[in-house]
Structures are given as structure tokens and as C-alpha cells.
Amino acid sequence: MNYEEAMTAIRFQGQEGSILRLSTMEVLLEASGNPQIGMQFIHVAGTNGKGSVSQYVYSVLIAAGYKVGMYTSPSMISFNERMQINRQLISDEDLIALADDVKSRIGDVAVSPTEFEWITALAFHYFHREACDFVILEVGLGGRLDATNVIDKPLVSVITKIGLDHQDVLGETLEEITREKAGIIKEGVSVVAYPLQEAGVFETLDTVCAEKSADLVVPDLIELDIISAQPDAQVFSYKGLTDLRLNMLGVYQFYNAVTALEVVFILRGLYGLELSDSAIRRGLAEGRMIGRFEIVHQAPTVILDGAHNPQGVTALAESIRRLFPGKRIVAVVGVLKDKNLADMIDLIDDLVSSYQLVLPNSMRSFSLDEMAAVIQTHSQKPLQTNKYLRNAFGTAMDVVGDDEIIVCFGSLYLMAEAYAFFN
């Protein structure tokens, strides 16, 4: 099997899309030896911030000298990002061998897995084969019936910021969505939750934790001291750890970071892991994600942000106001059909000078005409449609003024192409 054959096996092994169920994963893993049993996971669910919180915990554990796997989705630049160990992406050779091995182990099982189920099974085998000390396991969609939820008990369950997203499958209300995501909470396992949530989210989490005899830990924001929130320096102190530096920008990163710190404190206090203050400090500073309020160009300033729902756009707008006060933005935007574009525009339009619309690389994208129609209903700002992202950036860089910055947002599917354009 070569790389193209491996990717074909991975991407077309079964059904496309997502089907929320555990039965198929259980069959796949049982048929191939249940590699997930005995592994030590930190399981992360939520609407926004999963990637950032996961990165901080991952980075701290690496800085402390552990061998740490990370399973995440979607990928930004290459598929191999989805499985990595100590920041080394799975190699093409390992991916080929893994796909071949797992396919032969599974044989002709009487189930038809989705692409995500198949990839998740591969990830469990990879981390088991490589004998990782810990695995940061990021939920794909929801939690209760997500393919990753076949694990028994993680060391810690994490619930990041919850918002209204994927309502067609997770529920119409925040409480219903929270209940689905809280499905990763296991009996007696500590839960860390992002601190800035709606009251209904915390009420639901309290209920589920009581049902599962699980401690709910929420960062104490009285202990958070934001020292500097500038484009060149994000510095804070928390619970006796002073002058902690973040290289990931955005005001929301302080709250993601303290969520990650509470996970680290549990690992250190409850499980006795050797996680020194210096490892924590270094890990937070080395945490990095592509396309999360990332400045990729200066003069003019160009920011890539994967915000793709109203909650993400709210955080993006707040960060622009805090880090670039008085600046307005030329917005490069592309959005998928299942997202609430109207609310996203309402939340950021006061900062926008003009819009450059582009198609994300997904069959689920709004058409350019559909995006334009929605935006024109909610904004009086000028807009232009572009067949290619490079044209959108070219025009944006031509029209941007001294008091403006360029911000690309609306879909994670834009990030890879945008990142390649500037790198």
C-alpha cells in the first residue's frame, strides 16, 4: 500500500459524514484488539477552544518530559496533523503501515464505518503502538456518541466553551447541547470546565457531575491577573504562578490557558505527575495553533482566525477591540451552510470596513451569492465576491488603509489555503 492507497483507504473506507453512535467503533476496536484499553487519556469536548486547551495541556506534558500523543480534527495543512506525538506528525510511512495493518486486523467486519470512525480507530492503534504515556483526545462532534467516547475512563474530562452549533444533531438549546457534550463525563472522573459559560451550561454540568459522582472544577477568575494583552505579549498570573506568557493571541486565550492549568493541577495533585512550575511556564509559552488569532503578515497586519460560529466571532471581535483598539477590519470571509452567518455578521459588522467573500474548500459551503445576500441583509458595508482566496487577499491588501487590518475568518476550511498563501 502506498500513500495514495492509504489515504483512499482512510477517506473512503466507509460512509462520509458523521453518524453519532458507538456501536461501530466498538466492533472495529474489538476486532483489532482494543488498543485503547489501558491508555491514559485527557478527553476534551466543547464548541470552541478545544484545540487551544488541548494544545496547552499537550505542551506542558511534553515540557515535563512525557511522551504525549495528540488526536485532533480537522487538519489545517496536512492530514498527518491529526495524529502526532511530541509535536511530530505521523509520517507518511507510518500512516501507510498503520492503515495496512489495521485494515488486515479488522478484516471483513460486518459494519460500515464513517471516515471519522476509521481515522479514530487508526489513532488508537498508533498511540498504543508507540506506547505514549498520555494521549490528548479531542472529541470530533458532540461527546456522548462521538467515536472517541469508546474509552473507559480518562484521567480528566474537559468541557470547553459551549455554544449553539450543530443544532440539527446535538439539540436546539444550550442545555441540550451541553448534555450531549457532557456525555464524555465518566463515573468518578474529575471534570474541568471553561469558566465563562451561560448559567444553563453550568446547571447542566452540575447535574451530570452529580449523576456521575464527578468533581466539577471551574477556574477561579478572581485568581486570574491579566498583566499584558498586546499583539507582542500576552502575560498573566494565576494561583501563584506569575508572569506566564502565551504566544497564542486573543483575549479568550487567557481563559483557555487557566482551563488547561486546572487540568494540569489535577494531573499533578491527584495523580502525582511530575509537572514542575518551569515545565508549566515553558509549556504554556510553547503552545501554538495554526489559524487561531494568528498574525501571519505585518504592514498590513493580517490575522487568520478559525471563528466559525457566533461564539467564536464574539471572541474574535473582543480580541480585535482589545489588541487593536481603534482599528477597523477588511474582512475576508467564507462560511459553511450549517453555520449562523447572519448572527456572525451582526456581531462583528461594526468593526468592518468592507467584505471580501470567498468559498471555503467544502461541499457544504454557502455559494458566493448566498453569502452576499445574507450579508447585504445585515450590513451596509461594501462587499466583493472572489472565485479564489488569493484574489480576496490581493484585493484586501490593495484597499486596506493605515487604520485598518485584514482579518480572515468564517471557517476552518479557509485556514490551510490562507496559511499557505502567507507562508
pLDDT tens for each residue of 257-287: 999 999 999 999 999 999 999 999 999 999 9
Selection from 217, 208, 212 nearest residue 270 by Cα: 217
Residues 36 and 121 in one domain: yes
Residue listed under C-alpha cell 456525555 = 183
Residue with cell string 457532557? 182
What does the block give as the cell for 103?
A: 485494515
Q: Which of 243, 365, 355, 252 is nearest to 308 (CA)?
A: 365
Q: What pLDDT does 101 receive?
A: 83
Burial of 394 (0-12, 13-18, 19+ CB in 10 A): middle
Q: What is the pLDDT of residue 324?
A: 94
pLDDT one-digit tens code per residue, 71-104:
998 777 788 999 999 999 999 999 988 888 888 8
Say if residue 98 is in the same domain as residue 9: yes
Residue recorded with cell 451530570: 208
Q: Residue 368 maps to which CATH number?
A: 3.90.190.20
Give the model confidence (pLDDT) of 156-207 as tens digits: 999 999 988 777 778 889 999 999 999 999 999 999 999 999 999 999 999 9
On whether residue 120 sits in a domain, the answer given is yes
> How would you class 237 by CB atoms within 10 Å of its CB: exposed for 0-12, middle for 13-18, buried for 19 or more?
middle
208 in the same domain as 304: no
Domain range for 43: 3-218
- What is the predicted pLDDT for the residue at 3? 63
In a domain, 320, yes or no: yes
Looking at the structure, do residues 214 and 299 belong to the same domain, yes or no?
no
CA angle 247, 80, 232 (to 5 degrees): 10
pLDDT beyond 70 at 128? yes
> Residue 310, Cβ neighbours under 10 Å: how many?
22
**Residue 80: inside a domain:** yes
* Top-confidence range, 188-197, 283-292, 334-343: 188-197
At 362, is the pLDDT very low, low, confident or very high (cuts 50, 70, 90)? confident
Asked whether residue 11 carries a pLDDT value surpassing 90, the answer given is no
Q: Report d(CA 180, CA 59) in Å as an integer.
A: 28
In this prediction, what percent of the chain has a pLDDT beyond 70? Answer: 95
Q: Please state, in angstroms and rounded to a whole number, the distance separating the CA atoms of residues 34 and 115.
A: 19
Residues 301 and 404 in one domain: yes
Q: So what's the pLDDT on residue 1?
A: 62
Give the cell for residue 88: 511530530
The more confidently predicted of residues 16 and 247 is 247
Q: Which of the pair, 159 or 312, is modelled with greater confidence?
A: 159
Q: Which residues contact 146 (CB under 8 A, 6 or more apart)?
A: 20, 45, 139, 140, 183, 184
CATH number where 115 lies:
3.40.1190.10
Helices (H), 158-292: 167-170, 174-181, 199-211, 252-269, 277-286
Helix pair 341-348, 368-378: axis angle to 10 deg: 50
Of the residues 186, 218, 250, which one is the last residue of a structural domain? 218
Q: Looking at the structure, tell me whether residues 35 and 150 fall in a common domain.
A: yes
pLDDT > 90 in the chain, percent: 70
CB 320 within 8 A of CB 351: yes
Q: In this structure, are 198 and 319 located in the same domain?
A: no
Q: Which of 170, 195, 218 is the last residue of a domain?
A: 218
Higher pLDDT, 300 or 74: 300
Q: Is 308 inside any structural domain?
A: yes
Distance CA 321, CA 267 (A): 35
**Are 202 and 175 a contacting pair, CB within 8 Å?**
no
The grid coordinates of residue 277 equal 512550575
Q: What are the counts of helices (DSSP H) followed by strands (DSSP E) for the chain? A: 15, 17
Q: Give the residue from 188, 183, 250, 261 showing the smallest Cα distance to 224.
A: 261
**Residue 182 and residue 300 share a domain:** no
pLDDT for the residue 88: 96
Q: Is residue 171 part of a domain?
A: yes
Using H for helix, E for strand and C for coil, what is the string for 33-77? CCCCCCCCEEEEECCECHHHHHHHHHHHHHHCCCCEEEECCCCCC
Residue 391: all three cell numbers together: 484574489
Find where cell 488541548 sits.
54
CA-closest candidate to residue 160, choices 176, 144, 138: 138
- The predicted structure's pLDDT at residue 338: 84
Q: Which amino acid is at 352?
A: V
DSSP annotation string for 349-368: GGGEEEEEE---SSTTBPPH
Q: How far apart are alpha carbons 52 and 333 in whole angstroms? A: 22
| 269, part of any domain | no
Residue 224 lies in a domain: no
In the predicted model, what is the mean pLDDT of residues 348-355? 96
Interatomic CA distance for residues 259 and 148, integer angstroms? 21
Among all chains, which residue has been given the C-alpha cell 505585518? 298
Average pLDDT, the chain: 91
Are residue 23 and residue 148 in the same domain, yes or no?
yes
The one-character DSSP state at 256 is: H
* The domain boundary residue, chosen from 170, 191, 218: 218
Say how many domains are in the chain.
2
Q: Is residue 53 part of a domain?
A: yes
What's the pLDDT tens digit per position in 319-329? 999 999 999 99
- Both 50 and 152 in a single domain? yes
One domain, residues 200 and 105:
yes
Q: Both 198 and 338 in a single domain?
A: no
Residue 407, all three cell numbers? 482579518
The Cα–Cα gap between 309 and 166 comes to 10
C-alpha cell at 217: 472544577
